[in-house]
Amino acid sequence: MSDLVRLSMSIEKPLYEKLEKLVAESRYTNRSEFLRDLIRDHLVEREWESQDDLLGVISLVYDHHQRGLSERLTKLQHDFRGAILATTHIHLDHHHCAEMIMVRGRAGEIRRLADEMHRQRGVLYAKLTAGSTGKTLA
């Protein structure tokens, strides 16, 4: 593990009280872990502004009875085959399916894929969750 550095900071009391409430509500064991995760979240956001190799997950919920939708989604995955790492498909009920698609590549390419999937008729929900390869987080 890297060397730990202690730091001191000053913030207004109302902001401090809000921080303490957030830490408690988030069930962190201490303020330091909470702040480390906030910093890492910010670093991941910045990664997605770069041209670096990124990791993400596209979550979909769709009506699999929508004519041609399954084929269109599969075609999109084939068109972006270099970006697709893995997919998980589950049946939610008689009409609805969910898919989680793990992707890797540049932000623009991943966003294009997520946007194309979201635009398909019958897709009820699509969300790209930005992830990280971890290179900038250590």
Q: Where are the domains of the chain?
A: 13-47, 54-130
pLDDT bracket for residue 51 (50, 70, 90): confident
Residue 1 pLDDT:
54
Closest-CA residue to 49 (of 115, 126, 106, 116): 106
* Prediction pTM value: 0.83
Calculate mean pLDDT across residues 96-125: 96
Q: pLDDT above 70 covers what percent of the chain?
A: 99
Q: Give DSSP secondary structure letters for 27-87.
A: T-SSHHHHHHHHHHHHHHHHHTTSSS-EEEEEEEEEETTSTTHHHHHHHHHHHTTTTEEEE
CATH architecture of 54-130: 2-Layer Sandwich (3.30)
Q: Is the pLDDT of residue 138 over 80?
A: no
Quote the pLDDT of residue 52: 85
Residue in the structure block whose two tokens are 């699999």: 64
What percent of the chain lies above the pLDDT cut of 90? Answer: 82
